[in-house]
Amino acid sequence: MSICSKRQRKFRFSLAAVLGLMAYFGFVSTSLAQAGTWKVCQEGWCDYITIQAAISAASTVTGDTVLVSGGTYYELVSFDGSKTITLKTTAGAVIDGDIDQDGAGDGSVVSFLNGNSSTIDGFTIQHGEAPVGGGIYGGYGSSPTISCCTIVGNTANSGGGIYIRGSTITNCIITNNTSNHVGGGIHVSGSTVTNCVLANNTANHEGGAIFDFPLGKPAGEGYSVTLDFLEPSYNGSKCGWAYHPGEDWDAAECPDCDKYAPVWAISDGVIEEAKLFHKNWGRIVLVRHDAPTESSFVLPEGGTIDTVWSQYAHMYSISDNPRTGTIWQAGDVIYKGEQIGTVGDYPAGSGENYHLHFEIRKKNYRATIFPCNTYPDDIEEIEKRYIAPTDFINLNR
Ligand SMILES: [Ca+2]
Ligand SMILES: [Ca+2]
Ligand SMILES: [Zn+2]
């Protein structure tokens, strides 16, 4: 947050000075505009007085920048289709989704529709209310870039702040957003979330916001899934082709950036196994998570479950239990966000292919169980025993 807010403060001053001079000399802003840059201000002497008018104008084309002066813009902003533009404010402009200012939001504040891949930078996005994505909604196939934005005080059934797939979100503050079902702050998949602050977001469903991701605390920042749940992979001549029963998590920036990175407990639980297994597995910790009394966890495929197990494999080391001073062992109680271990290599000791193999299970099996030779059959059998990890966490956080 510090980089963006400093930059915004600095530019706010200089932009105000420039605008002041322009007003003094009676210039219209277009006389100074670079080709492909359109200006929006509420005073009426810019190219446009609303953000949506600037985005929708026939003269605004792919590659253009829409530069917005300070102030609060009560409108819903929508990017549509293949017109890819950069919407930017260096003056801390606010887009407010309660357009009639009656205290109830009137839709998603910013939407990216029909595969749009625009960029939005520097805004505060607030007071949106929609079924999905109160602050920002990304439709199927969209891949926007969202940077240096503050997403605050938005409401939805899913993804109070942001509901999106396939986006890049960096240097954002996502706070005080609410969902009535899942994803208080964000409900994202296939996205990269880097250097963001997520705080005081609420999901009002049974169980509450109680799971997080095992790497990149908070919210999996800087990590991505490189081998997905149920993706077929070859596991050596003994095991053959099999559907992957979990997710492989890797650092997004470079292949070995995750070497010895801290692995976090995804929720409160009790450790069932924690030890060094054979060469293919390295160190594994298996944790049982019981839903709080009179509540359940929500399953991505529908329905609920009262107990799940998280498994963290190929680890280089197992961390100490901070309450006993010795490494985690079976029977220890662990809390969400406590360090479980560090990311190791595969096969163990090879010095290459650092990643976390991460599973969430519906059943109580020994730590090393793996569904070998299952491809191309038995996908239903695996789905009876395992849960898609990222989907599950997004539903229960
Ligand atoms: Ca309203
Ligand atoms: Ca890696
Ligand atoms: Zn794996």
pLDDT in tens, 330-354: 999 898 888 999 999 999 989 999 9
Residue of higher predicted confidence among 388 and 1:
388
d(CA 235, CA 242): 7
75-89, 131-145, 355-369: least confident range: 131-145
pLDDT reported for residue 35: 59
The reply to whether 275 and 151 lie within a common domain is: no
d(CA 41, CA 27): 14
CA 149–ligand 2 middle distance (angstroms): 29
CA 393–ligand 2 middle distance (angstroms): 21
Q: Are 356 and 263 in contact (CB under 8 A)?
A: yes
CA 353–ligand 2 middle distance (angstroms): 6
284 confidence band (pLDDT: 50, 70, 90): very high
The reply to whether 196 and 231 lie within a common domain is: no
pLDDT reported for residue 294: 62
CA 159–ligand 1 middle distance (angstroms): 19
Q: What is the DSSP string of 353-371?
A: ---EEEEEESS---TT---
CA 82–ligand 3 middle distance (angstroms): 36
CA 111–ligand 3 middle distance (angstroms): 35
Short-list 144, 198, 151, 148, CA closest to 166: 144
Tokens of 44: 């009426």
CA 123–ligand 1 middle distance (angstroms): 20
Taking the CA of 129 as reference, the closest ligand is: 1
pLDDT reported for residue 205: 55
Taking the CA of 130 as reference, the closest ligand is: 1
Short-list 340, 355, 342, 347, CA closest to 274: 340
The answer to the question of residue 215 being in a domain is no
**pLDDT exceeds 60 at position 36:** yes
Q: Are 175 and 198 in contact (CB under 8 A)?
A: yes
d(CA 290, CA 295): 9
CA 129–ligand 1 middle distance (angstroms): 9
Average pLDDT over residues 77-100: 97
CA 346–ligand 3 middle distance (angstroms): 9
CA 380–ligand 3 middle distance (angstroms): 19
**pLDDT exceeds 90 at position 237:** no
105 confidence band (pLDDT: 50, 70, 90): very high
Report the number of distinct structural domains present in the chain.
2
209 confidence band (pLDDT: 50, 70, 90): very low
Residue of higher predicted confidence among 293 and 143:
143
pLDDT reported for residue 5: 55
Q: Tokens 């100074």 map to which residue?
A: 32
| 309 three-class SS | strand
Q: What is the DSSP string of 109-176?
A: SEEEETT---EEES-EEE--EEEE-SSEEE-TT---EEES-EEES-EEEE-SSEEEES-EEES-EEES
In angstroms, the Cα distances linking 310 to 250, 358, 365 are: 17, 7, 11
- Return the DSSP state at 334: E
CA 299–ligand 2 middle distance (angstroms): 28
72 confidence band (pLDDT: 50, 70, 90): very high
Taking the CA of 103 as reference, the closest ligand is: 1
The answer to the question of residue 157 being in a domain is yes
159-163, 292-296, 315-319: least confident range: 292-296
pLDDT reported for residue 264: 95
Proportion of the chain above pLDDT 90, given as a percent: 64
The answer to the question of residue 178 being in a domain is yes
We report the CATH number of the domain holding residue 384 as 2.70.70.10
Taking the CA of 102 as reference, the closest ligand is: 1
| Phi and psi torsions of 266, nearest 5° | -80, -15
d(CA 58, CA 56): 6
Average pLDDT over residues 152-161: 90
Q: Say if residue 376 is preceded by a cis peptide, omega within 30 of 0.
A: yes
Average pLDDT over residues 171-180: 89
CA 374–ligand 3 middle distance (angstroms): 15
The answer to the question of residue 98 being in a domain is yes
34 confidence band (pLDDT: 50, 70, 90): low
The reply to whether 254 and 358 lie within a common domain is: yes
- What is the H or E stretch that residue 36 is in? none
- What is the H or E stretch that residue 387 is in? strand 386-387
The reply to whether 245 and 296 lie within a common domain is: yes
Average pLDDT over residues 195-210: 68
The reply to whether 151 and 257 lie within a common domain is: no
Q: Are 61 and 84 in contact (CB under 8 A)?
A: no
Greatest Cα-to-Cα distance within the chain, rounded to the nearest angstrom:
79
The reply to whether 140 and 250 lie within a common domain is: no
Taking the CA of 355 as reference, the closest ligand is: 2
The reply to whether 287 and 329 lie within a common domain is: yes
13 confidence band (pLDDT: 50, 70, 90): very low
Domain containing residue 110: 2-203
d(CA 344, CA 340): 12
We report the CATH number of the domain holding residue 53 as 2.160.20.10
Q: Are 187 and 198 in contact (CB under 8 A)?
A: no
d(CA 268, CA 337): 8
Q: For residue 65, give the amino acid letter.
A: T
CA 353–ligand 3 middle distance (angstroms): 11
**pLDDT exceeds 80 at position 19:** no
The reply to whether 158 and 251 lie within a common domain is: no
pLDDT reported for residue 26: 42
The answer to the question of residue 211 being in a domain is no
297 confidence band (pLDDT: 50, 70, 90): confident
pLDDT reported for residue 67: 98
Taking the CA of 230 as reference, the closest ligand is: 3
**pLDDT exceeds 80 at position 76:** yes
Helix residue ranges per DSSP H, 172-244: 236-239
The answer to the question of residue 210 being in a domain is no
CA 168–ligand 2 middle distance (angstroms): 19
CA 130–ligand 1 middle distance (angstroms): 11
The reply to whether 187 and 242 lie within a common domain is: no
Q: Across all residues in the chain, what is the average pLDDT?
A: 87
Residue of higher predicted confidence among 286 and 4:
286
Taking the CA of 128 as reference, the closest ligand is: 1
pLDDT reported for residue 260: 97
Those residues whose beta carbon sits under 5 angstroms from the ion ligand 3 are 248, 357
The reply to whether 191 and 229 lie within a common domain is: no
Residue of higher predicted confidence among 161 and 291:
161
**pLDDT exceeds 80 at position 31:** no
**pLDDT exceeds 50 at position 298:** yes
pLDDT reported for residue 7: 45
328 confidence band (pLDDT: 50, 70, 90): very high
| 22 three-class SS | helix
